[in-house]
Amino acid sequence: MSNDRGKIKRHGLSVILTHWLVALSTFVLIFSGFGQMPLYGRYMVDRIPGLFWASDFSVTLLIHYWAAAVLMGAVAFHLVFHIIRRDFDILPRRGDLRESGRIILATFGFGEEPENDKYLAEQRLAYVFIAFSLLLVIVTGVLKVLKNLPSINYSEGFALWITLLHNIGTFLVIIGIVAHLGAFVFKANWPLLPGIFTGSIDREYAKERHGIWYRRICGGKEP
């Protein structure tokens, strides 16, 4: 539960590893995915030292496939691990939209922030947005991989739609990442940052901002 008196454990090693595998593979997928459009040659990205391969579709396609495998592995791990453990803290709850509004207003000094569980209401909503976007990209991506096999040929309309949805999903993922990182513009969220690197956050911060979670894991007692 805690690793020293001033800290409290927020994430286990599995969560930290999964988060970073998803993050890393997603960044590689975005870069290699944009490489699938003829952009890097035109915008001379391939002239940046070390990136000569960026405009070579055969290279970026292979990178895209390997990164997709890592992402699928990490997502499958994440889903199964948390379902078995019944860790559903990050799933949205009734009233999360309104509560998010209150949190955002409180960030700007209007009203008081509600007491939070392990995750803020806005974090739970952001999770669903990113999860949906990633699943959309994964499912359409798998269909696109199948399409490239010599034995499979989709109808014209189906191919067009899955590609469009794959591209839309990519932009949704990017929006999700920007919003996720954008949350750390606000100082109030900074104490959460060490959690995803070391697994622990400041005990006083947890007690103050994540009171519901703090009381639950401490069994209502001060540890």
Partner 1 sequence: MSDFSRREFLKRSVASGVAGGLVLAGMNRRAEASAAADVGTVIDLTLCDGCVSLPLPACVSACRDKNKPRFPEPIENIGNYWPQKKKEDWSKKRDLTDRLTPYNWTFVQKVQVEHGGRDHTLYLQRRCMHCDNPPCADLCPFSVLHKMPEGPVLIDHDLCFGGAKCRTVCPWGIPARQAGVGLYLKIVPTFAGGGVMYKCDLCYDRVKAGKIPACVEACPRNAISFGKKEEMRSRAHERAKEIGGYLYGENENGGTSTFYVSPVPFEKIHAALLKQKANQAKPGLPGFPGTPVGVENMTESANGIAWTMAIAPVAGIAAAVGAAYKTMKGGGGDVE
Q: Which residues bind partner 1 (CB under 8 A)?
A: 1, 9-12, 14-15, 36-39, 42-44, 57-58, 61-62, 65-66, 68-70, 72-87, 135, 138-143, 145-156, 158-160, 162-164, 167, 217
Task: Work out how close the CB of 178 gets to partner 1 at its nearest, in angstroms, rounded to a whole number.
Answer: 20
CB closer to partner 1 out of 105 and 212: 212
Would you state the structure tokens that stand for residue 190, as one six-digit string?
């900074």
- Residue 69 or 105 having the CB closest to partner 1: 69
For residues 134 and 102, give the distance between their C-alpha atoms in angstroms, rounded to a whole number.
28
Least distance to partner 1 from the beta carbon of 111, Å? Answer: 30
- Residue closer to partner 1 by CB (options 51, 179) is 51
| Shortest reach from residue 177's CB to partner 1, in Å | 20
Nearest distance, CB of residue 26 and partner 1, angstroms:
14
Alpha-carbon torsion 26, 32, 33, 34, what sign? positive
Phi–psi pair at 41, nearest 5 degrees:
-70, -50
- Cα(142)–Cα(146) distance, rounded to whole angstroms? 6
The gap from C-alpha 4 to its chain's centroid, in whole angstroms, comes to 28
Q: Please give the backbone phi and psi of residue 198, each rounded to the nearest 5 degrees, phi first.
A: -105, -15
